[in-house]
Structure 1
């Protein structure tokens, strides 16, 4: 039973596959760090492991538990999870994405515990949500789940129409962005000299970390992307698009540069792709970095070539930097990137279309600036972590029948 007799705030147990670098994990950390002290307690249960990303948690007394799940169906992991939940006695169990969904079955043995499941993006083996096995799994478990939270309208509609979750149990809550962290390309004239100095120093350090001579070309233009180097993010499409540009317009080799920030299982394949396309010296694989705002500020165009998305944190961060965004027309991307206004949308896997979109913006700095300003205005108006956190906490308050703030009509819906 949940620990309802304690004078401590209710405990939310967040169950995720791993606490590593990623948009889902970034959202979870922001929600925990930004929650008002004393309103809820939080624990993170990693089915596999926690990585260095866990160090970004600044809230006090957040327990992080690793279950070290083996590949495949590890029945002992479920036993360890059951014992952990019995010990924690959470008021709410909040799972995220398909990898953690099955653990909601333990809810049958946790009377009184409320259950929440978040959909942050579909599995790489089910990008359009049509996989029959996964669909039946979701349908079978959905009666056990009191609330579903979808980070995009696309996912919310899919939960209702395809998974057959009653609309009253679905909440749509956009991710937020920490505007203060990101360096707008359009300087605020009211910013203090200290803020401007700090921005300049961070940008200088990011440029110093680049390969020698990387930006030495006159009028260099930089395209970039940020994200885990994984198949679903398809950074290989960006590599191929750059190769296409250089093959059709060899003069671009002298000024066009690309930065890929992040690390992951596709790194070797991307290194091979850079060699194959003859891009040595033109592409920097920056690896995992802790100076993302400065690296974004060093870019002129942001590209998200992924095969599937929920709501991309990195797109929001690029918009907060004032960058035009080129993204594939999938998932929640069209909810962020307004065609011809804040950026451009291209078909998934279309090398020529991506190359043409990049070339259009490279050739037209005025259009870049106009789109970047529109992106910045959009994200400042509609995407804020404080609003996002308030809406997550309101879901918890509703389930536990605690007083709380109402949903913002701009970021959630039943």
Structure 2
């Protein structure tokens, strides 16, 4: 089996963190050795041991979006890789200056280098957020061209990078995946304790759900405006997550408009119960990659409405959900919300189709199968997997 040095994030909570932890857990379950390299808040470094394979690197600044490593982080990373002697390095890119130095470092050490490139995008450049993300892609493209492979989540994302000069043979389209045994519809006959608690909490109310970061690019305010304008009777909008815009939005959109703010929810069992309870999952993003929250909602059998940003529209196309444009989100939702309220048979069918699509295309098993084949192409130790 392959020894993988995984460079990623364990905090603060975001899609990159979920991706890294879920993927490495699945790889370990298949017998691969993982040395997880990440930035820690302790301010001191650790090169890991046999009993504790984590490698901790110091940093100056860390957020959900980017990380600025301490001046000695690159040296400590090199020393750790020399000591660990992995078969390959997989960097779940953290948007850090270290990302640009990895190709030269790994080339010097003779290590194959794989990246997963997470930044959201909108190929049509229809808004300011999309333009800002395009600059990120332009900045990264020359370095990504030096990686042995760059994992992206959709053909659309690959096309964006190819237009910016990343050779097609460097790109591997491997969509995100979720565990459909973990993310599953609630059992009406035997609901979980968490789901029973939520049903009591929202007794008699139909729940619409947003779950994710509360930030400009997520366009949550457009959803809140539509909800406040419609205020569908008998329904509650639950907003789960945290971010820089949360406090300001809470001041303008609250309980009087039928909106409940739950903040960040670290307990996966609660997040699953919320998805099982919700009739509709709403994702109004201006830019996206391939939303794990959307895939979790789909696997949980929740009807999904998302914009066509990033790969989300591709995920829901052909009747697996409702796809709206990133332009005029409030207007579109103002029309859709009453329909979704009045048509529970429609939302139930959309939920069924969403789970079926997740099972067909977006399972964690499929994701790991493709990663193993990629590792086998790059590492002699992984050749038995190819």
TM-score range, shorter chain: 0.7 to 0.9
Matched, 1:63 2:61: no
Aligned to 1:182: 183
Q: Could you tell me the TM-score, scaled by structure 2's length?
A: 0.83
Residue 49 (structure 1) shift: 4.4
Following TM superposition, by how much is the alpha carbon of 1:340 offset from its aligned partner in structure 2, in angstroms? 4.8
Residues 86, 69 of structure 1: alpha-carbon distance in 2 compared, 3 angstrom cutoff: farther
Contact kept in structure 2, 1:45 and 1:66, CA below 8 Å: yes
Superposition map of 1:36-51 within 5 A:
39-47=31-39, 49=41
SS of the counterpart of 2:109? coil
CA distance in 2, matches of 1:350, 1:393: 39
Residue 147 of structure 1: CA displacement? 0.4
For 1:144, what is the secondary structure of its paired residue?
coil
C-alpha deviation, 1:216, in angstroms: 4.5
Q: Is the 8 A contact 1:226 1:262 kept in 2?
A: yes
Cα pair distance change 1:38/1:255, threshold 3 Å? closer
Residue aligning to 1:240: 225
> Are residues 1:222 and 2:207 paired?
yes
Cross-structure match for 1:155: 157
In structure 1, distance between residues paired with 2:10 and 2:26:
21
Give yes or no for contact 2:5–2:37 (8 Å, CA) kept in 1. yes
Q: Contact 1:97 / 1:122 at 8 angstroms: preserved in 2?
A: no
Question: In structure 2, what is the Cα distance between the partners aligned to 1:14 and 1:393?
Answer: 14
Please point out which of 1, 19, 24 is paired with 2:16: 24
Equivalent residues of 2:141, 2:161 under 8 A apart: no
Counterpart-to-counterpart distance in 2, 1:146 and 1:352 = 44
**Which string of whole-angstrom CA distances, capped at 9 and with x for unpartnered residues, describes residues 267-315 of structure 1?**
212311314x942x54232431411111111111100112211111111
Cα pair 2:121 2:134 within 8 Å, conserved: no
TM superposition shift of 1:357: 1.8
Match of 1:169 in 2: 170
Partner of residue 280 from structure 2, selected from 301, 314, 322: 301
Distance 1:96 1:48, change over 3 A: same
Question: C-alpha distance in 1, partners of 2:115/2:226?
Answer: 37
**Aligned match of 2:115:** 117
Q: Secondary structure at the match of 1:69?
A: strand
Q: Give the aligned length.
A: 363
The TM-score with structure 1 as length reference comes to: 0.78
Unaligned runs of 5+ in 1: 1-8, 51-59, 188-195, 247-251, 407-414
User: 1:250-261 to 2 correspondence within 5 Å?
Assistant: 252=232, 254-261=233-240
Kindly indicate whether residue 87 of structure 2 is the aligned counterpart of residue 91 of structure 1. yes
**Using a 3 Å threshold, how does the CA distance of structure 1 residues 260 and 100 change in structure 2: closer, same or farther?**
same
SS state of the match for residue 101, structure 2?
helix
User: Secondary structure of the equivalent of 1:272?
Assistant: helix
Change in 2 beyond 3 A, CA 1:241/1:64:
farther
User: 1:115 & 1:318 partners in 2: Cα distance?
Assistant: 32
* Unpaired stretches in structure 2, ≥5 consecutive residues: 43-50, 63-67, 123-127
Cα separation, partners in 2 of 1:405 and 1:362, compared to 1, 3 Å: farther
In the alignment, the residues of structure 2 paired with residue 46 and residue 37 of structure 1 have an alpha-carbon distance, to the nearest angstrom, of 20
